[in-house]
Every structure is written in structure tokens, then in C-alpha cells.
A and B are shown apart, each in its own frame.
Chain A
Amino acid sequence: GAGVSQSPSNKVTEKGKDVELRCDPISGHTALYWYRQRLGQGLEFLIYFQGNSAPDKSGLPSDRFSAERTGESVSTLTIQRTQQEDSAVYLCASKRTSGAETQYFGPGTRLLVL
């Protein structure tokens, strides 16, 4: 079946612009994550959605970052007034339920802020 997909695959933007990144999880997966991966670094947790529960936003680095998810479908991560330090790969992952363990990752969006 189809895996997690993300768009765009690459995004180049100017400092100060807003960007919106999209994630399509595996159909039927109730849990969805966003991570940030800076060059040569590990995966940094940003936000977690589980069904219709309130999301865990504890990893969002500033109020310029926000994310939405409607039900168990598509999620968007928005970065307002982008800064150069926002340059990174943004990875989305989904898993079947809150109790399931395996996270399935998307290919990521590579964001470059000039």
C-alpha cells in the first residue's frame, strides 16, 4: 500500500516568508508526528497528533511554528517568518494507533531559507 507522502520534496524560500509543508499519512493511521532533522543531527520531535485528542505541541521551537490535522487525514506544518536556522529536513511519520510502536516515515521536505 501507499506509504507516508510529503510535499513539496524541496522548498527554497527567502527569510521572512511563510511556508507550508504537507503530510499524507498511511490510510487508517491515527497517530501522526512531525520531526525536524538538521544536517548531521538526529530527529527532533516537534508535534504529535492522535485522533481527535489535543496534540502534543511540546517540541515546537517557537510560536512561528504551528501544525494542523483534520481528523485522521492530512497534516500541514506552517512556519511563519522563516529564519535561516529553520533550514532543515522536516519529516512526517505516522503509526497505526497510539499504542502501536513502529513509526513509518515520509521522505521529508528539505527546506532551505536564504
Chain B
Amino acid sequence: GENVEQHPSTLSVQEGDSAVIKCTYSDSASNYFPWYKQELGKRPQLIIDIRSNVGEKKDQRIAVTLNKTAKHFSLHITETQPEDSAVYFCAANSGGSNYKLTFGKGTLLTVNP
């Protein structure tokens, strides 16, 4: 089955700096890679996703890059703000499934004012 590794497990940055979170996956059939943000005590929410037919996608301060050859994808947050502080989860669809996601263990991002 799919295995998703996520690094780092914790990340602390100063407000205004950039943050990068990296994930690797094992299943070459995976073609959908979402990122979820979970604030403390809240439910996970989708913030951005990417399909394997593109290498990069941006949405304001958030971008995701995908390297299919190396089987890794990354989340980039620029000009970080304290409200970006949360746990971020990457995921990949298992075996190219249209419904089953395998999640990474999460990255706790802290943005210090």
C-alpha cells in the first residue's frame, strides 16, 4: 500500500519568513496530493491540492510543488503570519484511487510574531 512520509514534524519560523514542508510517497500510481490544515482543536480543512499532470500550483501565499520522478511534493508558505500556525498534513491517493487517501503524520508549524 501507499506510504507517505512527512518532514519536519515541527517547524518554527519568524513572522514574515517562508516555511517549507516536504512529503514523499511510495506508490507511483498516486496522482492526487492534497494538503490539509488543522488548527488546534479544530477540524482539518483542505488548503491546496495538486494533480500529477502539473508540477506546481499557487494560491496567494501558498504553493505546492510536485516531482513525480522523485515521488515527493512540498508545501511552501511565504510571508508567514501567526494565523498560519497549525498542523499541516500532506496526503496521497492510494493506488490512484479516487477516494482513498494516505496521510502523513503532520507538521506542527509555529509562526512567532
Q: Which residues of A contact B (CB under 8 A)?
A: 4, 31, 40-45, 48, 50, 56, 91, 98-99, 101-103, 105-108
Interface-centre pick from B4, B45, B98, B105 (highest chain A CB count, 10 A): B98
Which B residues fall within an 8 A CB radius of A?
Answer: 4, 6, 32, 34, 42-46, 49, 89, 91, 98-106
The majority secondary structure among interface residues of chain B is strand
- List residues of chain B with CB within 8 A of the CB of A50: 99
Check if B89 sits within 8 Å of A48, measured CB to CB: no
CB-CB under 8 A for A102 and B106, given A45-B101, A48-B99, A48-B100:
no
User: Cβ of B43 and Cβ of A103 under 8 Å apart?
Assistant: no
Docked-complex contact A45 and B102, CB < 8 angstroms: yes
Instruction: Give CA–CA (A12, B6) in the complex, Å.
Output: 31
Q: Does A103 contact B98, Cβ atoms closer than 8 Å?
A: no
Residues in B with CB closer than 8 Å to A41 are 105-106
A69 to chain B, nearest CB (A): 14
Other than the known A4-B43, A101-B34, what 11 A-B pairs have Cβ atoms closer than 8 Å?
A40-B105, A42-B4, A42-B89, A43-B101, A44-B103, A45-B102, A98-B98, A98-B99, A99-B98, A101-B32, A103-B101
Q: Which residues of A contact B103 (CB under 8 A)?
A: 42-44
**Bound Cα distance A11, B59 (Å):** 38
